[in-house]
Structure 1
Amino acid sequence: MTDWLTVTPGDAPLIVAIPHAGTDIPAAIEARLADPWRARKDADWWIDRLYAFAGALGATTVRTAISRSVIDVNRDPSGQSLYPGMTTTGLCPLETFDGEPLYHPGEEPGAVEIEARRAEFFDPYHAALTGQIERLAANGPVVVYDAHSIRSHVPRLFDGQLPQFNIGDNGGVTCAPALTAAVEAACVASGDSHVVNGRFKGGWTTRRYGRPETGVHAIQMELAARGYIDEPATATAATWPTPFDPARAAPITRTLRDVLTAARDFALSQRA
């Protein structure tokens, strides 16, 4: 564990990756930002708290505290878009989801700095994740569950209101259909809206590690944030993020516990 990377090992064949809950920005980078709040706005707010129960299920968690505005550990490091033809952000984003510039003019990171950030943060994060996958996969199939959230309305990225639960397996490529079905069933039971492979089909983590033919099954869950915190009509420094309240989040926490239990039990069934 470092001051920005936390790995909490468990014994169950389930890994919960949390790549975007971090808000830490090195001071030298923050000084070049147009607005430090803006650079934190698109964090997956409170996801680490929302999934705090994962350890009780025996899951391993891998989490970075570094802001996605510094480097996005869920993007293809080659720079290739995960969603060709659609608006998205890159490895070291230059703008927010809403299209606002992150840096003062002329202060954007160049190729050399991007490579340095990759070596300092991206590579160690994925080395930790790979190490945990290898540790658990030594005993049989394992599930990598990539945990995310986003504001329910981001017009630049998608039309209208996002479904509550957005399940991604990259079109059935990154995990067995039975895992997707089990996760989907838990979402259906909640009574809230859901979609499989909608706007979010799975980021680089899901696509990189999901190799069901080798026993590594990866699936992404993108939550609409309204499921566990109140969302303002307009996100400003004064209104966003809203505080995390365990009581407010209790209903979706119950569903997510069912989701992770289903994922763990799927992996265990593959080991029988």
Structure 2
Amino acid sequence: MTIPIFSFAAGNAPVLVTIPHAGTALAPGMVSRMTELGVTLPDTDWYMEKLYSSCVDLDIGMIRANYSRYVVDLNRGADDATLYPGRPKTGLVPDLTFDGKAIYNEGHAPDEEEIAERRRLYWQPYHDAVQEELDRLKKRWGWAILWDGHSIKTEVPRLFEGKLPDLNFGTNDGVSCAGTLIKSVMDVPELGNSYSTILNGRFKGGYTTRHYGQPQHGIHAIQLEKAQSVYLESEDAPWPIDERKTKKIRETIGALLRQAVLWRPEG
């Protein structure tokens, strides 16, 4: 049976949650070409549906990619432009893990023709759906908010120094959303002393945040990158979930999203 490119549940709130890196499906023929490490998909954003289960109660729509970021990274531009100058580039179609280890057996990484095909088959339909839903919400409300949900290991020396804060908010240095929106989100009491937070630190937002976040045109975008230590027992395979931690961060994310739903543009 063919696996859909993404799963979509529509909502009526002015917020759309996108989850581009939780998928684990692989393109036909990939497994036999991949390394033993590569097929375990170590850079997956694990259990995101659990963390964002409050979307149902808040009537927030969600688009969740079903294919792995190793097929194509939906949070990179179609032109594969560098997002963070001076840092290792993880790529539109990566051939290395975040730790710099090979995803494919020698000589089996995708060539330019295959990359173009994956972009056509997997990347384009996802982004067409995101744009269509944002347009629908904006038509209904006069504005729309895109919330791009991610998670990553707390320590990835190849990509950043030291340990990440628990919750890393990105608004492309304030360009992708109204200041009143991100302030209202980050002021929720539920954050309190429970989690360390940062705005526009190591993660300022990827392609999704930077491309769709155009507040001057009524579309606001926020990326939330969570350190996986806030909900996993271990950040190594098989990535066991900690139910107590997960319940707490799920409730916190729900509070953040609720604030986004309640926010109204000025004027």
TM range (shorter): over 0.9
Q: Secondary structure at the match of 1:127?
A: helix
Q: Is the 8 A contact 1:163 1:193 kept in 2?
A: yes
Scaled by the length of structure 1, what TM-score is found?
0.92
Q: Distance in 2 between matches of 1:37 and 1:15?
A: 31
Deviations 1:63-111 (A, max 9, x none): 1110001100000110211111112300000100000011111111111
> C-alpha distance in 1, partners of 2:185/2:193?
11
Give 1 or 2: higher helix fraction.
1
| Pairing partner for 1:218 from 218, 221, 228 | 221
* Alignment correspondent of 2:265: 270
Residue in 1 aligned with 2:91? 90
Q: Is the 8 A contact 2:154 2:164 kept in 1?
A: yes
For the pair 1:18 / 2:19, whether they are aligned, the reply is yes
Separation in structure 1 between the aligned mates of residue 77 and residue 96 of structure 2, nearest angstrom = 17
In 1, Cα distance between the equivalents of 2:181 and 2:74? Answer: 24
Superposition misfits of 4+ residues, deviation over 4 angstroms: 36-39
C-alpha distance in 1 between matches for 2:3 and 2:41? 21
- 5+ residue gaps, structure 1, are none
Partners of 1:11 and 1:60 within 8 A in 2: yes
SS of the equivalent of 2:177 reads: coil
Q: How many residues matched?
A: 264
TM-score, normalisation: structure 2 = 0.94
> Structure 1 residue 112 and structure 2 residue 107: aligned?
no
**Percent of matched pairs sharing the same residue:** 37
Work out which of the residue numbers 238, 241, 244 in structure 1 matches 2:239: 241
Note if contact 1:41-1:240 (Cα within 8 Å) is conserved in structure 2: no
Q: 1:187-222 CA distances to partner (integer Å, 9 max, x unpaired)? A: 642531010000000000000100001110000000
**Contact (CA 8 Å) 2:38, 2:102: kept in 1 or not?**
no
Counterpart of 2:170 in structure 1: which amino acid?
G
Structure 2: where are the runs of 5+ without partners?
none
Residues in 2 aligned to 1:154 and 1:219: alpha-carbon distance in whole angstroms:
22
SS in 1 for 2:265: helix
C-alpha spacing 1:37/1:260, structure 2 compared with 1 (3 Å): same
CA RMSD in angstroms, aligned pairs only: 1.8
Question: Distance in 2 between the 1:66 and 1:108 partners?
Answer: 17
Moved more, 174-183 or 36-45: 36-45
Structure 2 residue matching 1:189: 3-state secondary structure: coil
Counterpart mapping for 1:1-272 below 5 A: 3-35=4-36, 37=38, 40-139=41-140, 140-186=142-188, 188-232=191-235, 235=236, 239-242=237-240, 244-266=241-263, 269-270=264-265
Checking the alignment, whether the CA contact within 8 Å between 1:55 and 1:61 is kept in structure 2 is: no
